[in-house]
Amino acid sequence: MKNLIGLMILSFIFASCQQVSMMSKSIWKPYSEKVLADSVNRKKPVVIDFYADWCPNCHELDRTVFSDPAIAAKLASVTALRMDVTDMDNSRVQRIIQEYGIDGVPTIVFLDSHGHEIPDSRIVGVVSSKEFSQALALLAIFK
């Protein structure tokens, strides 16, 4: 009986983690220079999340910040792009990492409606929903 209860609890935890992962992934579009250019043409701010599959802190942000419904709602009003840097040997990945000056992941870059990075807004590492929300608020100030 104990084994059955333990198995049920583990199944519930696994399902919950999968749901959080799916919810946070639905917020983001894969990084694309075309989508970025379209957003700039439409004067829409952009958030770029640089992440890697092997990065535990990236998964932590998914679980704690990007699964927050208030954060998801705010991200829905901007262009939210995700740049997968898992394959560091890929020349495209290397070029984009160099272009944005990315030293590690997770790194989140906030671009104003003209496509310029907002000064002092970059997030490197794990932050709370409150800290992320404060950085997102800068997008409204730097139009």
Structure tokens that stand for 64 in this block: 């704690």
What pLDDT, on a 0 to 100 scale, did the predictor assign at position 30?
97
Q: How far apart are CA 134 and CA 120, in angstroms?
A: 12
What pLDDT, on a 0 to 100 scale, did the predictor assign at position 26?
77
Q: What is the CATH number of the domain that holds 62?
A: 3.40.30.10
What range does the domain containing 96 cover?
Answer: 2-141
What pLDDT, on a 0 to 100 scale, did the predictor assign at position 13?
45
The distance between the two most distant Cα atoms of the chain, rounded to a whole number of Å, is 61
What pLDDT, on a 0 to 100 scale, did the predictor assign at position 91?
97
What pLDDT, on a 0 to 100 scale, did the predictor assign at position 2?
56
Number of domains in the chain: 1
83, β-bridge pairs: 50
Q: How far apart are CA 43 and CA 92, in angstroms?
A: 25
| Average pLDDT per block of 10 residues along the chain, 143 residues long | 50 43 69 97 97 98 96 95 97 97 97 95 97 93 78
What pLDDT, on a 0 to 100 scale, did the predictor assign at position 56?
98
What pLDDT, on a 0 to 100 scale, did the predictor assign at position 142?
80
Q: Enter the DSSP assignment of 128.
A: -
